[in-house]
A and B are shown apart, each in its own frame.
Chain A
Amino acid sequence: MELQVFILVLGLLVGTSSPDMGTNHGKSPDSHDHGPQSQGNHTQSKKPFPVLSLGYDHVKLPFEISLWVLLASLMKLGFHLIPRLSSIVPESCLLIVVGLLVGGLMKLVGEIPPVLESKIFFLYLLPPIILDAGYFLPIRQFTENLGTILMFAVVGTLWNAFFVGGLLYGVCQLEGHRLVTVDLLSCLLFGSIISAVDPVAVLAVFEEIHINELLHILVFGESLLNDAVTVVLYHLFEEYSSVGSITFMDVFLGIVCFLVVSLGGIVVGAIYGILAAFTSRFTSHTRVIEPLFVFVYSYMAYLSAEVFHLSGIMALIACGAVMRPYVEANISHKSHTTIKYFLKMWSSVSDTLIFIFLGVSTVAGPHEWNWIFVMATLIFCLVARVLGVVGLTFVINKFRIVKLTSKDQFIIAYGGLRGAIAFSLVYLLKTEHFPMRNMFLTAIITVIFFTVFVQGMTIRPLVDLLAVKKKQETKRSINEEIHTQFLDHLLTGIEDICGHYGHHHWKDKLNRFNKKYVKKCLIAGERSKEPQLIAFYHKMEMKQAIELVESGGGAKLPSALPSTVSMQNIQPKKPPQDRALPQLSKAREEEIRKILRTNLQRTRQRLRSYNRHTLVADPYEDGWNELLIKRKKMMELEKKISQMNNYLTVPAPPPDSPTIARARLASDPQAWGLKSVTESIPTIKVDLASPQSPVVDEFSKKGSQPKASKEEEGGLTMKVPSPTKQRKDKTADEDNDKEPQQRLMRCLSDPGPTAEEEDEDEAFLP
């Protein structure tokens, strides 16, 4: 049913969309309809006032763009409505097919389908995808594998370019008649365009197969970093193909140019990234425009790099990666979510549009099919890729700790997809300089189709067949975080002991530099001094708090981990035989009771104020405050319920003698389940000969109760109840709240001695 409505809408869209989007986006006609008419009113006879008139021209361009975007998005929706289709065929294939259909429809209708113009592609469609990738780039894996990635990106692409270009030239020469006009430089240019792995296609396909992080970052990193190589080769060959020859000087300049292009791009990106981080430091009063800064600075980085013909992709990646840690420390949680969702949305739309336009352009573009050339291109591309990967891995494995297995190599080779960047680059070639341009175009489209369709569709079953490790979906736990940091320091220490300036040493130095100087400039306020572990812990708490609020709060949470472990199980037990029960005077008891009461209040206050302190960054987090209120209410409620239960099971003790009271308490293990803490109660005098010694147990337990409760409450203040901890903390919480109340009640009615709890320095016994 939905499908049919959907197809109907689609048909309408196609019918109404007008073709000229690609070529006519210069000046939109700004003549209004009222103009000529009002003039006409003066000179001619008066026409009736137009109530409803049609003026399409002046909204034509935005209208068309919106229609295309709408079409793309509806397509995306449609695919997921069809069951099982999206699990077999990757989205990119489906979108290209849709593009083909739309283009075919347009041609049938008689209109010219728009072509994916390079300017639109490079300036509007590509940046969101790259920014999304760069901002969320997993820095840790990226830097750990940087050597490998660079090898693949630079050496691999060069190898591919020359292999394909050279062999194609050979084929052209051999073939004779039509192809002999293709000279070496044109072939090399074609080779360099087609050899670059495309980030858009790789992202589109790899995102769906959830492959393990190492392979993902290798292929994806390669696709990003080979942009510099492609840019340099492209310009080099384009410049000199008209001249017809290349000297060594040119090659040398080309190498220099490569360094300039890549490093320049990175520097430009880093500068803009730092600017963005610095700006975000001051946005605490205008939270609403925080995401805007992230987007605009990044886009400016891209455009600035393009001005100087530097690598815009690398600039964008560098900008996103540099600014992210600082910006995220400064901006509010809502801005963070906004940035994330906007980036994902834009990159998704871009991605969809690109593939649809690829399909449309295939139908539209001028084609020149030459069997030999196209087939040769395809075969050489595949062969070059496989040889390149195998050869490079052989060299790289000598330097890697984690070797790349042949399964990994296969996936890397197979994941070398070509995409729209290659298409746009060929499209940019002018036919006057390159008479073979149309043939190139056809060949490129064929290769793109092959890689996206055949390789894209089969990679998923192959991954399953080869049992390649998939991405682990586990959430990062606090233990792993602690140990990751511990390992970092440990390895740095061992490297220092060995006197070896390795990877960890420099990373450590960078971190220290970062902490000492950079963070102070770029992060606002107190957050600049926050260590990573604390930040991680806060994030985790925040996440759990939000989960709690979203799941409706309350005690009926389904816990992720069915565990009944709570804080009380962790606190170490005090060996009971160490302490004995001293004698206490009534005055002392009064004093103790008073201390108990005041300290309880103090703990409560500390509970609240501590929470406010940890949330100093965000007074805008409404959910948080509500959560606190809710939690308090729930605590009160549960306390009331438990107190009622308590009355049923443990009747209020009548004021009888201490020994009887103590005996009763001793027989009630439930109430005294809490264990004491290790901090010693300082001034208890041990009197082993005392007849009170049988009561030693409860005393120590009771005595350390308050301290335990304080410790646990102190410990609990930082913790926002997670779904698992929620229940347990509540129990512990309410236990704690219950205990002092109970103890108070019992104190009041039963003059049993209780110990000093809060202030260790306050003398308990003289």
Chain B
Amino acid sequence: MGASQSGPVHMFQDLAHKTGFSTEQIKNLHNRFMYLTQDEDTLRREHLENISNLALNPIRRQIIEAFFDKRNMGEKERGCLQEIGFEEFVTVLSFFRPPKPRTADEMKNIKKEKLRFLFNMHDTDNDGIITLDEYRHVVEELLSSYETIGAETAKAISDAAMLEVASVTVGQMGPGEFYEGITFEQFMQILKDVEIETKMNIHFWNLDTRTMQCGK
């Protein structure tokens, strides 16, 4: 009994150390994980799709995909997993942990990591570039909750956005050249004013098992 009790606790502490969450938070997240998977060991896409609140989210597919994307697990490889364990779950969630006050360099790194996460969400074909199509897809998804908006509008907006990125980052391009897509450096450049490191966070201290049961 003692051995099996200390097993998960030990794992929690390891995870806490690795991801930066506190042990308490890891425990709460584990409870949530168990709730989502209905006490199985691994999380699959269907489990996430069952969350009713998430169904109303226009970009739910990309969010769910992000959990199964190997690039977010800190691995060099690309591709998708079919199911993830608790460790991967927490790893993905650690992208949203509010950063403790650090030096400017560390903050820059954190910002880069968060932007990388966003970039991976857009770059669905894993080629390291957000092409016009992928960006168009993003805008369409954002507008998908409004039924009256046609595809042309989404296209126009994504074209304009792409043009802006190209104008800002590349500047001079001859008429014969072709702008492949947004690379990660350009992505960082256009979003440098959005202050990702402060915005892309959620408060994990509020997790409470009681509310978790009621809030599916």
Residues of A bordering B, CB below 8 Å: 401-403, 472, 474, 477-480, 482-487, 489-505, 512, 529-531, 533-534, 537, 561-573, 669-670, 673, 675, 678, 714-715, 717-719, 724-725, 731, 735
Kindly list 6 other residue pairs between chains A and B, CB separation below 8 angstroms, not including A563-B168, A715-B159: A500-B215, A504-B202, A561-B171, A570-B159, A572-B178, A718-B157
Q: Roughly how many angstroms separate A24 CA and B171 CA in the complex, as a whole number?
A: 66
Q: Roughly how many angstroms separate A477 CA and B203 CA in the complex, as a whole number?
A: 28
Would B176 and A483 count as touching, CB distance under 8 A? no
Q: A401-B203, A479-B165, A529-B148 are in contact. Are A715 and B98 (CB under 8 A)?
A: no
Would B200 and A495 count as touching, CB distance under 8 A? no
Q: Roughly how many angstroms separate A484 CA and B198 CA in the complex, as a whole number?
A: 12
Would A497 and B48 count as touching, CB distance under 8 A? yes
Tell me how far the C-beta of A642 lies from the nearest C-beta in chain B, rounded to whole angstroms: 13
Tell me how far the C-beta of B179 lies from the nearest C-beta in chain A, rounded to whole angstroms: 5
Within 8 A of A (CB), among B130-169: 131-133, 138-139, 142-143, 145-146, 148-149, 152-153, 155-157, 159-168
Checking A403, A489, A529, A673 against B57 with a beta-carbon cut-off of 8 angstroms, the contacting residue is A489
Would B166 and A563 count as touching, CB distance under 8 A? yes
Would A496 and B207 count as touching, CB distance under 8 A? no
Would B160 and A478 count as touching, CB distance under 8 A? yes
Interface of B, secondary structure class, is helix
> Chain B contact residues (Cβ within 8 angstroms of A): what range?
35 or more
Which chain A residue has the least Cβ–Cβ distance from B182? A479
Would B178 and A573 count as touching, CB distance under 8 A? yes
Sampled A-B contacts (22; CB under 8 Å): A477-B168, A478-B157, A479-B191, A480-B194, A483-B118, A484-B194, A486-B59, A486-B118, A486-B142, A487-B199, A494-B93, A498-B93, A529-B148, A561-B168, A563-B168, A564-B175, A566-B175, A568-B175, A569-B179, A571-B178, A673-B176, A718-B160
Q: Roughly how many angstroms separate A489 CA and B118 CA in the complex, as a whole number?
A: 12
Contacts of A477 in B (CB 8 A): 164, 168, 190
Q: A478-B160, A483-B191 are in contact. Are A724 and B167 (CB under 8 A)?
A: yes
Q: A512-B56, A566-B175, A718-B156 are in contact. Are A489 and B142 (CB under 8 A)?
A: yes
Would A563 and B170 count as touching, CB distance under 8 A? yes
Contacts of A529 in B (CB 8 A): 146, 148
B58, CB-defined interface residue at 8 Å: yes
Q: Roughly how many angstroms separate A493 CA and B96 CA in the complex, as a whole number?
A: 12
Q: Roughly how many angstroms separate A625 CA and B167 CA in the complex, as a whole number?
A: 28
Would B153 and A493 count as touching, CB distance under 8 A? no
Contacts of A502 in B (CB 8 A): 202-203, 206
Contacts of B165 in A (CB 8 A): 479
Which chain A residue has the least Cβ–Cβ distance from B191? A483
Would B177 and A569 count as touching, CB distance under 8 A? yes
B11, CB-defined interface residue at 8 Å: no
B204, CB-defined interface residue at 8 Å: yes
B211, CB-defined interface residue at 8 Å: yes
Tell me how far the C-beta of B118 lies from the nearest C-beta in chain A, rounded to whole angstroms: 7
Q: Roughly how many angstroms separate A715 CA and B36 CA in the complex, as a whole number?
A: 43
Q: A489-B57, A561-B168, A724-B167 are in contact. Are A499 and B207 (CB under 8 A)?
A: yes
Q: Roughly how many angstroms separate A687 CA and B168 CA in the complex, as a whole number?
A: 42
Greatest chain B CB density within 10 A among A474, A478, A499, A537 is at A499
B80, CB-defined interface residue at 8 Å: no
Q: A479-B161, A499-B215, A529-B148 are in contact. Are A487 and B202 (CB under 8 A)?
A: no
Would A565 and B170 count as touching, CB distance under 8 A? yes
Contacts of B145 in A (CB 8 A): 531
Contacts of A485 in B (CB 8 A): 142
Would A533 and B142 count as touching, CB distance under 8 A? yes
Contacts of B96 in A (CB 8 A): 491, 494
Greatest chain B CB density within 10 A among A490, A491, A715, A724 is at A490
Q: Roughly how many angstroms separate A499 CA and B57 CA in the complex, as a whole number?
A: 14
Would B155 and A474 count as touching, CB distance under 8 A? no
Which chain B residue has the least Cβ–Cβ distance from A493? B63
Q: A483-B191, A486-B142, A501-B211 are in contact. Are A564 and B173 (CB under 8 A)?
A: yes
Would B138 and A496 count as touching, CB distance under 8 A? no
Tell me how far the C-beta of B121 lies from the nearest C-beta in chain A, rounded to whole angstroms: 8
Which chain A residue has the least Cβ–Cβ distance from B57? A493
Contacts of A482 in B (CB 8 A): 138-139, 142, 157, 161
Contacts of A735 in B (CB 8 A): 175
Tell me how far the C-beta of B187 lies from the nearest C-beta in chain A, rounded to whole angstroms: 9
Checking A495, A512, A719 against B202 with a beta-carbon cut-off of 8 angstroms, the contacting residue is A495
Contacts of A494 in B (CB 8 A): 63, 93, 96, 202
B60, CB-defined interface residue at 8 Å: yes
Q: Roughly how many angstroms separate A563 CA and B138 CA in the complex, as a whole number?
A: 25
Would A500 and B155 count as touching, CB distance under 8 A? no
B183, CB-defined interface residue at 8 Å: no
Checking B63, B67, B216 against A499 with a beta-carbon cut-off of 8 angstroms, the contacting residue is B216
Checking A497, A512, A573 against B51 with a beta-carbon cut-off of 8 angstroms, the contacting residue is A497
B201, CB-defined interface residue at 8 Å: yes
Would A537 and B152 count as touching, CB distance under 8 A? no
B54, CB-defined interface residue at 8 Å: yes
Tell me how far the C-beta of A672 lies from the nearest C-beta in chain B, rounded to whole angstroms: 9
B26, CB-defined interface residue at 8 Å: no
Tell me how far the C-beta of A445 lies from the nearest C-beta in chain B, rounded to whole angstroms: 41
Contacts of A479 in B (CB 8 A): 161, 164-165, 190-191
Which chain A residue has the least Cβ–Cβ distance from B58? A489
Checking A474, A537, A731 against B160 with a beta-carbon cut-off of 8 angstroms, the contacting residue is A537
Q: Roughly how many angstroms separate A472 CA and B194 CA in the complex, as a whole number?
A: 11
Tell me how far the C-beta of A627 lies from the nearest C-beta in chain B, rounded to whole angstroms: 18
Contacts of B51 in A (CB 8 A): 496-497
User: B67-100 toward A: CB 8 Å interface, digit per residue (1/0)?
Assistant: 1000000000000000000000000010010100
Would B172 and A717 count as touching, CB distance under 8 A? no
Would B190 and A537 count as touching, CB distance under 8 A? no
Which chain B residue has the least Cβ–Cβ distance from A405? B101
Would B157 and A537 count as touching, CB distance under 8 A? yes
B5, CB-defined interface residue at 8 Å: no
Which chain A residue has the least Cβ–Cβ distance from B201? A401
Q: Roughly how many angstroms separate A572 CA and B196 CA in the complex, as a whole number?
A: 30
5 nearest A-B pairs in the assembled complex, by CB-CB distance: A718-B156, A563-B167, A499-B212, A493-B63, A496-B53
